[in-house]
Amino acid sequence: MIQSVSFIGLGAMGWHMASHLTKVSGQVHVWNRNFEKAKEHEQIFGTKAVCLQQAVQTDIIFSCLPTSQDVESLFKNCSPKQGSIWIDCTSGVPDIGKRLNQQLKHQGVDYLDAPVSGQTVGAERGTLTVMIGGDQAAFEKARPIIQAFADLIEYVGDSGSAFAVKAVNNTLMATHLWALAEGLSVLKAYGVNLHSAINCINHSSGKSNISENIMAQRVLSRNFDKTFALNLLQKDIGIAIDLITASNLDLPTLNLIQQQFNQIHKTDAQHLDFSAVVKTLEQRNQLELY
Ligand code: NDP
């Protein structure tokens, strides 16, 4: 019987995801590196801010940190409760997920890779897509808790598989963003009104989540509101490209996409929304998409 739950990493995603857990557990512990955020979460949502070692003593432990390397170094500073299930919602590296799974198994802990999709708005509404890799029995035990912030929960295979699906998904999103920006550039050069063009595309076969929810709202508006940092998307594309390289398959387009996204240095990219990558295309062609 699952009684206690914790959430580690109250960032743009984790802040909202953790808030939904109070619907399914009477005891939700939260920990954040900047501990003030955990105390604020406690005040707003009725969770309980605790130290890291206390957070990992619950039946279910969620984490949502920028990278798998961050999660791995966190593990070195704590020993989770025997019999618990660690659900890592970080968009992580498949091989590190597998390694953590093996290490934690020796400590009597199940580790699931459980990256999410749906952006901060999906986290806030509790309508995320959650991809699951790892032990299926552990997943079935945890499913009712994950349901608190999910619309779709899909088991995709052994440990590491969900991280792989997430990396490919985000590389496709990057591809849609870049391809749409190229398409709109040529339409701009031809003198077409881009808002009308987007409206047509959104009612035609070329539409995507990017055309429906990102391009007009962040690029054409010139807002570039930051909800998902560009350096995190660069990281996801890098994970997908590493998988491609290891597979020895000939997949040229996604490699080209990585080259476009890596034009912005990582240190600058951490301050930008992912949609701001479009500016590099604009600068190259000396035009603005609005
Ligand atoms: P944020 O940068 O907003 O939040 C990161 C969180 O991790 C913060 O709570 C931060 O703590 C904490 N953190 C960072 N480094 C460490 C560390 N070394 N040790 C302990 N805690 C650390 O990231 P997001 O919430 O945007 O992203 C989290 C994950 O979710 C990423 O893997 C991302 O790719 C993925 N994701 C993001 C989406 C989005 O739209 N933003 C959508 C889907 C997935 P502190 O407050 O102290 O800095």
pLDDT score at 228 = 98
pLDDT value for 3: 86
User: pLDDT (tens digit, 9 = 90+) per residue, 17-59?
Assistant: 999 999 999 999 999 999 999 999 999 999 999 999 999 999 9
What pLDDT, in 10s, does the model give residues 73-126?
998 889 999 999 999 999 999 999 999 999 999 999 999 999 999 999 999 999
Query: Best mutation site among 39, 56, 64, 121 for ligand 1, i.e. most ligand atoms within 8 A of its Cβ?
Result: 64
Residues 70 and 232: their CA atoms lie apart, in Å, by 13
HSE-up of residue 201 (Cα within 13 Å, Cβ side): 24
> Model-level pTM greater than 0.75?
yes
% of residues, the chain, pLDDT over 90? 98
Mean pLDDT of all residues in 183-192: 98
Mean pLDDT within 198-226: 98
> Which DSSP state fits 276?
G
Q: Is the pLDDT of residue 4 over 90?
A: yes
pLDDT score, position 136: 98
37, 166, 188, 235: which is the annotated catalytic residue?
166
Residue 128 forms beta bridges with which residues?
150
Q: How far apart are CA 32 and CA 281, in angstroms?
A: 37
Residues with CB under 6 A from ligand 1: 9-14, 32-34, 37, 64-66, 70, 74, 90-91, 116-117, 119-120, 227-228, 232
Annotation marks residue 188 as catalytic? no
Residue 67 scores a pLDDT above 80 = yes
CA of 10 to the centre of ligand 1 (A): 7
Average of per-residue pLDDT values in the chain: 97
Q: Look at residue 277 and tell me whether its pLDDT is greater than 70.
A: yes
Tens of pLDDT, residue by residue over 134-177, are: 999 999 999 999 999 999 999 999 999 999 999 999 999 999 99
Residue 128 has pLDDT above 90, yes or no: yes
Is a pLDDT exceeding 70 seen at residue 1?
A: no
Alpha helices per DSSP H over the chain: 14-20, 35-45, 52-55, 68-75, 94-106, 119-125, 136-146, 161-189, 194-202, 209-213, 230-247, 252-261, 266-269, 278-285
Burial bucket for residue 17 (CB in 10 Å: 0-12, 13-18, 19+): buried
pLDDT at site 50: 98
